[in-house]
Amino acid sequence: MNLKCKHALAVLFCLIVTFGNAQQSADEVAPEGSTALGGYAASLAVAAAQTLKAEGLPVEAQSWMISVANPYAAQAGAAVLAAGGTAADAMVSAQAVLGLVEPQSSGLGGGAFLLWYDAETGVLSSLDGRETAPLKANPTLFQDASGAPLKFFDAVVGGRSVGVPGTPALMQEAHRRWGKTPWAGLFSSAVGLAEDGFIVSPRLAEMVRADADFLSRDAESRAYFLPEGQPVSQGQKLVNPAYAQSLRALAGKGVAAFYTGDIAKAIVEKVRNAEHNPGVLSDIDMGLYQIRERPPVCVGYRGYEICGMGPPSSGGLSVGQIMGMLEAYNLGAPTEADVWRLLGDATRLSFADRGRYIADSDYVPVPTQGLIASDYLRQRSKLLAGPRALTEVSAGQPEFDHSLDLADDEAIDLPSTSHISIVDSYGNALSMTTTIENAFGSRLMVGGFLLNNELTDFSFRSHRNGTPIANRVEPGKRPRSSMAPTIVLKDGHPKVILGSPGGSRIIPYVAKTLVAHLDWGLDPQAAVSLPHLVNRFGAYDIEAGTSAETLAAPLEQMGYEVAIRGLNSGLHMIAVTDSGLLGGADPRREGIALGE
Ligand code: GLY
């Protein structure tokens, strides 16, 4: 082993280069079992990353890095990057593995938003792979016969909540635009793991146990997650041959196999015939699905450009609004309650605008530029002058040449989802947040993957006192999201790649992590580990069991209601510094950063 290979993290690099050289043809999906990396030394590299994470230290690298929610997915992406693949190639490989080992959060049956910084052109692009409502869906989709909104889980479980998945099309579109590695070979790791088996993680086992009732309503979900009536357990080896078959179809025929072939047929049949809550998805809906390129949303902050995803996600606009409002204030240190007053009330103001104005801009005119105009943010920022919690928070009146006469939304948005951050050896950067919405989505399983319940991100009500809600259900529309894949630029170059799961808490998780890094100078691991304090609608959520609890009393004195609770983010972050790449993975989840 040469000198470079002695460092624990470098072992990974040496192995994957060896793997890359030995690989016969990336066009062939490995026939059996080859998980791009296997054996002791790869485990060592993962163990090294896990040790650094446990010690609160960032992973360092010079050339490429991936930070993602599961070690198997990190290894798959790392293997592609080390063999000269781009961040788009690595994302395809990592996403295919995530759909197997973290099936509760994302996969082929879901949707995603992706930001791409292109090193060659210096252009930042954003792709919308959001699920779409079937053409037969209408604003009463989640209402009972009297027009009252359904209870959340009555809407979620079954076929009614399933939108046309966007993730497979997004994987292929990103690869078509920015990939270098042949498509089919990118599925080798996932196919190998699905056929030979992967070890069930503590998090997956616990989530299956907690969700056993809902999962057992669908025959395929029941057979896979609860074989012989018992939840799969931590440490158990699990195989998923149906998933391997779906991946092989995708690898061999591209996404046509998913949207028009047997997989599409199986999805439509499953949704329409769901025993509980059948839906209206059709083969026409599947065949019409398209990825949409959207203009990224960027807001200046202390010399940086904070860039994110525009509508139908609220992520980029809301994070941008928060940062834009905070810019006028000195954010001191994370130990100061007044700093959290500023962060909390800036978030509340942004959520008021989000609830009123943000929806799928193909259906509802959204005042995108008005919401982040510097004059507007300056005016909203003045509301934060303090020193107490805002007693009234309502949507503002951004500049717009259309009517702003809309009612406030009340979509529930419970945490699930996953995030992938990647920098490749060419200097490209990718930030992608990926989801099937609620944990285990609709609980319907087809072809070894779960179908989303993304349509419950729409407002269940369509109107309030006769005024329409922007985010109401409409045929072919995309539900509003909170997903906030973020790339921070400085002088046109990427400095931070970041995102998180967490439902609508994604927005404050991402904003506070940006403040932790850009204002307080915390490295990516320290920034993602920082205890959470998040406020969306007035009550201050403080992360239980952390030093943040000491801020409860001063925040209460400022007028906030305080709730001490678990706050389950999944932040994955890479910082591009003058001396190389630094990566962090959220200690609240199982992910790691790997790099070389
Ligand atoms: N379903 C999570 C989100 O889109 O925000």
The CATH number of whichever domain residue 543 belongs to comes to: 1.10.246.130
Instruction: Answer yes or no: do 382 and 430 share one domain.
Output: no
DSSP element (H, E) containing 539: strand 539-543
**90, 184 contact by CB (below 8 A):** no
pLDDT in tens, 56-93: 999 999 999 999 999 999 999 999 999 999 999 999 99
Segment 200-213 mean pLDDT: 97
Instruction: Answer yes or no: do 424 and 401 share one domain.
Output: no
Instruction: Say if 562 falls within a structural domain.
Output: yes
Least confident of 14-23, 188-197, 404-413, 477-486: 14-23
For the Cβ of 417 lying below 6 angstroms from any atom of ligand 1, the answer is: yes
At 402, the pLDDT band (50, 70, 90 cuts) reads confident
Instruction: Answer yes or no: do 114 and 256 share one domain.
Output: yes
Instruction: Say if 388 falls within a structural domain.
Output: yes
Segment 462-478 mean pLDDT: 95
For the Cβ of 161 lying below 6 angstroms from any atom of ligand 1, the answer is: no
Q: Which are the contacts of 316, defined by CB distance < 8 A and separation ≥ 6? A: 126, 296, 297, 307, 308, 309, 310, 484, 486
At 414, the pLDDT band (50, 70, 90 cuts) reads low
Instruction: Answer yes or no: do 408 and 434 share one domain.
Output: no
For the Cβ of 568 lying below 6 angstroms from any atom of ligand 1, the answer is: no
Which of 576, 416, 592 is CA-nearest to residue 503? Answer: 416
- Identify the domain boundary among 424, 444, 464: 464
Instruction: Answer yes or no: do 431 and 401 share one domain.
Output: no
For the Cβ of 481 lying below 6 angstroms from any atom of ligand 1, the answer is: yes
Instruction: Answer yes or no: do 429 and 320 share one domain.
Output: no
Which of 445, 405, 530, 388 is CA-nearest to residue 100? Answer: 445
**Closest Cα to atom 1, ligand 1: which residue?**
437
Start-end of H helices in 289-417: 315-326, 337-357, 368-371, 374-381
**Closest Cα to atom 4, ligand 1: which residue?**
481
Q: How far is the CA of 435 from the centre of ligand 1 (A)?
A: 7
Pocket test for ligand 1, best of 131, 360, 482, 486 (most atoms within 8 A of CB): 482
For the Cβ of 189 lying below 6 angstroms from any atom of ligand 1, the answer is: no
DSSP codes, 448-515: TEEPP-GGGGSBS-SEETTEEBTTB--TT----B----EEEEETTEEEEEE---SGGGHHHHHHHHHH
**137, 280 contact by CB (below 8 A):** yes
Q: How far is the CA of 240 from the centre of ligand 1 (A)?
A: 26
pLDDT in tens, 330-366: 999 999 999 999 999 999 999 999 999 999 999 999 9
For the Cβ of 483 lying below 6 angstroms from any atom of ligand 1, the answer is: yes
Say whether the peptide bond before residue 479 is cis (omega within 30 degrees of 0): no
Tell me how far the alpha carbon of residue 257 is from its chain's centroid. Answer: 25
Buried b or exposed e, range 377-395, using 16+ CB within 10 angstroms: beebbebbeeeebbeebeb
**pTM of the model as a whole:** 0.93
What the block records as the tokens of 82 is 């080390």
pLDDT of res. 401: 85
DSSP codes, 553-582: HHHHHTT-EEEEE------EEEEEETTEEE
For the Cβ of 457 lying below 6 angstroms from any atom of ligand 1, the answer is: yes
SS3 191: helix
Instruction: Say if 489 falls within a structural domain.
Output: no
Instruction: Compute the distance between CA of residue 185 and CA of residue 80 in angstroms, rounded to an integer.
Output: 10
For the Cβ of 575 lying below 6 angstroms from any atom of ligand 1, the answer is: no
pLDDT in tens, 517-554: 999 999 999 999 999 999 999 999 999 999 999 999 99
| Per-residue pLDDT at 214 exceeds 80 | yes
Instruction: Say if 12 falls within a structural domain.
Output: no
Buried b or exposed e, range 195-206, using 16+ CB within 10 angstroms: beebebbebbbe
Q: How far is the CA of 107 from the centre of ligand 1 (A)?
A: 14
**487, 115 contact by CB (below 8 A):** yes
Q: How far is the CA of 484 from the centre of ligand 1 (A)?
A: 9
Tell me how far the alpha carbon of residue 470 is from its chain's centroid. Answer: 23
What DSSP designation does 143 have?
B
Which of 106, 86, 252 is CA-nearest to residue 166? Answer: 106
Instruction: Answer yes or no: do 182 and 253 share one domain.
Output: yes
For the Cβ of 435 lying below 6 angstroms from any atom of ligand 1, the answer is: yes
pLDDT, averaged across the chain: 92
Instruction: Say if 10 falls within a structural domain.
Output: no
SS3 96: helix
pLDDT of res. 43: 75
For the Cβ of 438 lying below 6 angstroms from any atom of ligand 1, the answer is: no
pLDDT of res. 412: 66
| Closest atom of ligand 1 to CA, residue 480 | 4
| Distances, alpha carbon 488 to alpha carbons 69, 296, 418, 485, 582, in Å | 21, 12, 19, 10, 14
Instruction: Answer yes or no: do 168 and 218 share one domain.
Output: yes
Helix, strand and coil in the chain, % to nearest 5 = 40, 20, 45
pLDDT of res. 41: 55
Instruction: Say if 252 falls within a structural domain.
Output: yes
Q: How far is the CA of 502 from the centre of ligand 1 (A)?
A: 8
pLDDT in tens, 253-306: 999 999 999 999 999 999 999 988 999 999 999 999 999 999 999 999 999 999
Instruction: Answer yes or no: do 391 and 537 share one domain.
Output: yes
For the Cβ of 437 lying below 6 angstroms from any atom of ligand 1, the answer is: yes
Instruction: Say if 298 falls within a structural domain.
Output: no
For the Cβ of 131 lying below 6 angstroms from any atom of ligand 1, the answer is: no
Which of 266, 108, 97 is CA-nearest to residue 196? Answer: 97
Instruction: Answer yes or no: do 447 and 578 share one domain.
Output: no
| Residue with tokens 């099936």, as numbered in its chain | 103
Which of 179, 248, 293 is CA-nearest to residue 29? Answer: 248
Instruction: Compute the distance between CA of residue 400 and CA of residue 289 in angstroms, rounded to an integer.
Output: 30
| Per-residue pLDDT at 25 exceeds 50 | no
**137, 455 contact by CB (below 8 A):** yes
Tell me how far the alpha carbon of residue 34 is from its chain's centroid. Answer: 27
Pocket test for ligand 1, best of 506, 507, 509, 568 (most atoms within 8 A of CB): 506
Instruction: Compute the distance between CA of residue 450 and CA of residue 17 in angstroms, rounded to an integer.
Output: 33
Pocket test for ligand 1, best of 481, 500, 505, 507 (most atoms within 8 A of CB): 481
**Closest Cα to atom 3, ligand 1: which residue?**
481
For the Cβ of 413 lying below 6 angstroms from any atom of ligand 1, the answer is: yes
Instruction: Answer yes or no: do 206 and 227 share one domain.
Output: yes
Q: How far is the CA of 119 from the centre of ligand 1 (A)?
A: 29
| Per-residue pLDDT at 97 exceeds 70 | yes
**Domain total in the chain:** 2
Instruction: Compute the distance between CA of residue 261 and CA of residue 242 in angstroms, rounded to an integer.
Output: 15
Q: How far is the CA of 316 from the centre of ligand 1 (A)?
A: 13
Q: How far is the CA of 359 from the centre of ligand 1 (A)?
A: 12
At 45, the pLDDT band (50, 70, 90 cuts) reads confident
Is residue 486 among the annotated active site residues?
no
Domain hosting 362: range is: 307-414+466-471+495-595
pLDDT of res. 275: 87
Instruction: Say if 38 falls within a structural domain.
Output: no
Considering 347, 368, 417, 433, which one is annotated as catalytic? 417
Pocket test for ligand 1, best of 106, 130, 170, 417 (most atoms within 8 A of CB): 417
Q: How far is the CA of 483 from the centre of ligand 1 (A)?
A: 6
Instruction: Answer yes or no: do 435 and 373 share one domain.
Output: no
* Whole-angstrom Cα Rg for the chain: 23
